[in-house]
Amino acid sequence: MPDVKTVGLFFVTALAEIVGCYLPYLWLREGKTIWLLVPGALSLAAFAWLLSLHPTAAGRVYAAYGGVYIFMAILWLWAVDGVKPTTWDLVGSGVALVGMAIIMFGPRTA
């Protein structure tokens, strides 16, 4: 059974990274205030700290985290950017989440 805390931590970590990248994007591409860099930097610092809280080897965490990031980015596309995901976006996100689950929760011998 997947550890709910670990999965939840992946989602919070992905949100911190997306916010940390989106705020500078707003400044660079949308002409918003440069002050968005402050919360953006704080969000990226939180992202790095959150990655350190994951309970397994860093390489495995980074690999599995990528699947959750893909899913969260598609949700962001829909919720924040107002772009409805395509069927292929949803299928790809689902595949990425299955990959995350295999990496994180598959049986281990060592």
Residues 13-38: tens digit of each pLDDT: 999 999 999 999 999 999 999 999 99
In the numeric block, which tokens belong to residue 69?
Answer: 């990031």
Q: 110 in a domain, yes or no?
A: no
Q: The domain containing residue 10 runs over which residues?
A: 4-105
Q: 66 in a domain, yes or no?
A: yes
Q: 37 in a domain, yes or no?
A: yes
- The count of structural domains within the chain is 1
Q: What pLDDT was estimated at residue 1?
A: 45
Q: What pLDDT was estimated at residue 57?
A: 65
Within the chain, which residues score under 50 in pLDDT?
A: 1
Q: What pLDDT was estimated at residue 84?
A: 97
d(CA 10, CA 16): 10
